[in-house]
Each structure stands twice: as structure tokens, then as C-alpha cells.
Amino acid sequence: MSAVLTALPVGLLVLGTPIFVVFLAAVAFAVFFVLPTPPIALHQVLFGGLDNYALLAIPFFIFAGELMGTSGIAARLIAWVLALVGRVPGSLGVATVGASTVMGAISGSSVAAVAALSKTLYPDLERSGYGRERSAGLLASSGAIDIVVPPSIAMILYGLAAEQSIPRLFMAGVLPGLLIALMMCAFVVAVAIVLRIPVVGRFDAAVALRATRHAAAALFMPVFVLGGIYNGWFSPTEAGGFACLYAIIVARFVYRTMGWADIVRAAGNAAMLSARILIIVAVAGVVTWLLTTQGVPQAAVGWIQSMQLDAFAFLLSVNLLLLVVGCFLDPTSAILVLAPLLVPIAVSVGVDPIHFGIVMTVNLAIGMFTPPFGLNLFVVQSATGLPAHTIYKGVMPFVGVQIAALLIITYVPALSLALGQSL
């Protein structure tokens, strides 16, 4: 069976088959031709995996992000960040990182943030002296922060797969997300000083206040959503519904940039993206079920324990594994398949499962912009029309910066655990 679950998926991936078909084909072949399992079990597990209330948070937050991108909320946030960093060297690059972080705190969607920022900021970044490669690399890599800062769709999926508290995971992502953003900003400032990239604009208190007033309705969204979760007013799923309602009110009645037809169109786009994610959730649940019933997690735990690895060596090995996996699989697929296998091993060597969730999320966030198949690379290419090799060269320095941040996050657990102790 192990040969089936290895050779068949690899062959299908080489042929360019969608990832959910790859997983489903391997499991179906094993169930029908290898294992003495009744085929009806495949159907039951496939649909039973979606019978989880917490999964409703995913389409809600995707819809909120879609509304944010199409209503002009993203443009107001970018203008607000630019107004605050006007006199910083490399201010436009710093604003790109800052805007991506703020947008991540609203939607939790890396793809939505990268698409919005690429259309809005790429021309200005290139004209300001960053060049095509560096501009594309900055845009693709900044979007990775959105997967780490709450509310994060990746962390919702990890919480479900590893049976961990989603509010605690959200809180655990705050400091690591800010660390990545600060290290990215420091690198951008250093590059701007070395290359003498001019400062875009200057800080003006009146302009900053005006930009804050224009973006205030959007900025209150993460305050209400995350504040409601941590104060116990509503669950993460209910918070997603509230985020949608809030975004509709702001877009339709405060900013007046969307009509009802536009909102329905955004709902349709969100439904399509949600369907692509949830079908992976369903199929990954079947893979996990098959591996569990065959004793693979237990065997893996026993094998790791026999090697007598300590937490340091285990985390280093996991980082290397996930950085490679992230180059080929999207975070949704990787988390749902690997978390049930790796979390028991992490716990067995003394790693906190919340901390491990952050480590796993940051690794796969880096994979979002790592060649050859990082999803953010394709989003930037679609928005800018740049050739792939140009974008690949542009992201490599930022891969180094975020790997440095990953090592700090990995070996300083307090960054992930300090804020969530009270939850």
C-alpha cells in the first residue's frame, strides 16, 4: 500500500493533476484494490469530514476579504500606511509590508492581499527605484505575513486537524507575525539606504489624520472581530459571519463603493474559492483517516522516539521538511495531511502543539512565495505580467529574511505562547 500512496500521487502530480484528485485517486485505489475496507467507508469519511461547524469560518473570512478587495477598503488601508511612514527610507516598500500585515488582520487571505497590493503598488514600486525583480519579490513575500497574523485560515485548519484551540492559535500568531513584518521592514530600509532609493513623500500630521479618518471604518474591523473572539462574545465561526456583515455595511453604506449587484458578485467569487479549499479539506480528511487506520502516525511516533531526537533536532528536521513541502503544496493541503502525523510526534518530544502550529504555519507561509510553485508567485505574475524567472530572482532575498525569522520563532517558543497563556 505504501508504494501505491507514494508512486501514484507522484505520477499524477508530474502530469499536473489537481491536488485533491491526486489524494483522492491514491486513497480510492488503496480502498478498492488493496485494503479489505468496504468502499462505502470512503464516501462516509469524505463527506463526514466537512460536518464541522468551525469550517464555516473559512467561507466567511474569504467573503470578507473579497469585499475588502473590491470595495476600495484595501486602497484606503494602503493610503493610511503610506501616510504614517512617509519619511522612512524605502517608505513605499515599508508601506507595502505594513499594508499587507493590516490586510491580513482583516481577511486572513494571502492571495487576496497580494492581488490587491500588486495591482495598486507595483507600478509605483518600480518607478521609485526598486526595479522589477525587487518589486515583485517584495509583493509576493509580504503576502506570507497574512497567513500568520490572525484571523488566519491556515490556523483554523490546523486547529481542526490537530484538535487545538483556534482562539489560542490566533493569539499565538500575533507576535510571530509582527516579528516577520519588522524584519521585512528592516531589510527593505537597509536595501533602500544602500541603493539610495528616494523617500516617497514626507510625514504630514494633517495628511495622516485625514488618511486615518478615511480608513477608520476598515481599521475597526479586526478590532471588533478579534476583540469579540478573545472576550468570549462569539466563536471564530461567528466572528467570520460578523466580519462579512461589517464589510457589507462599510462597503455599501459608509464608503458607498459597492452596490448590491457587486456584493452578490463578490459572494460568488468567495464561494468559488471556498469550494476549492473545502474540497481539499474533504479529501485530506480521507487521507488522514486511511493513514490513521493503517497505524502510520503511531509507527512514525515510534520511529522518531527510537532515534531519541530532542526537541531542537526534531524542529530542525520539521523545518527542512516543511520548507521543501511548501514549494510544491499549498498550505491547506499540507496542513490537513501533515498536521495529524506530525503533532503527536511533536508532543512526544516535548514541543507545545500551539507553538508547533505557528512553526508549521510560518514554514508553509514561506512556501507560498518559494519557487517553483508558490501560489503568490503566480498571483504576482498574473497582476504584473512579469516572466517567472524575474519573480523567482526577486523573492530569494526575502526567502532568506523570513527563514531567519522562522528560526527565531522556532527556538523562542515564548514568542508564540506568551500572549495565549490566559486563554
Cell numbers describing residue 416: 508564540
Choose between 14 and 152: higher pLDDT. 152
What integer pLDDT is reported at residue 14 of this predicted model? 67
| Peptide bond between residue 222 and the one before it cis (omega within 30 degrees of 0) | no
Asked if residue 339 lies in contact with residue 161, where contact means CB atoms within 8 angstroms, the answer is: yes
Residue 198 pLDDT > 80: no
Give me the half-sphere count of Cα atoms (radius 13 Å) on the Cβ side of residue 165.
16
Please name the amino acid found at residue 360.
Answer: M
Residue labelled with grid coordinates 478615511: 214
First to last CA, the chain: 42
Residue 89 pLDDT > 90: no
User: For 20-69, how does the pLDDT look when each residue is reduced to its tens digit (9 = 90+)?
Assistant: 777 778 778 777 777 777 777 777 777 776 777 767 777 887 788 778 77
Every domain of the chain and the residues it spans: 41-417
Identify the CA nearest to 222 among candidates 242, 237, 249. 242
Q: What is the pTM of this model?
A: 0.79
What integer pLDDT is reported at residue 187 of this predicted model? 93
Choose between 274 and 396: higher pLDDT. 396
Mean pLDDT of 324-331: 78
Local confidence band at 308 (pLDDT 50, 70, 90 cut-offs): confident
Identify the CA nearest to 93 among candidates 74, 73, 121, 116. 121
Where on the phi/psi map is residue 204: left (φ > 0), alpha (ψ -120 to 50), or beta? beta
Asked if residue 85 lies in contact with residue 94, where contact means CB atoms within 8 angstroms, the answer is: yes
What integer pLDDT is reported at residue 297 of this predicted model? 61
Residue 155 pLDDT > 80: yes
Residue 252 pLDDT > 60: yes
What integer pLDDT is reported at residue 333 of this predicted model? 77
**Eight-class DSSP state of 53:** G
Residue 3 pLDDT > 60: no
Asked if residue 29 lies in contact with residue 4, where contact means CB atoms within 8 angstroms, the answer is: yes
**Eight-class DSSP state of 126:** I
Q: Which H, E and C letters describe 55-77, residue by residue? A: HHHHHHHHHHHHHHHHCCHHHHH
Torsion angle (degrees, nearest 10) of CA 379, 383, 389, 390 = -130
Residue labelled with grid coordinates 460578523: 242
Asked if residue 161 lies in contact with residue 288, where contact means CB atoms within 8 angstroms, the answer is: yes
Identify the CA nearest to 52 among candidates 419, 243, 341, 336. 336
Identify the CA nearest to 268 among candidates 253, 73, 260. 260
Residue 191 pLDDT > 90: no
Share of residues in the chain with pLDDT > 90 (%): 15
What average pLDDT does the chain have? 81
Local confidence band at 296 (pLDDT 50, 70, 90 cut-offs): low
Where on the phi/psi map is residue 366: left (φ > 0), alpha (ψ -120 to 50), or beta? alpha
Choose between 62 and 294: higher pLDDT. 62
Choose between 87 and 317: higher pLDDT. 317
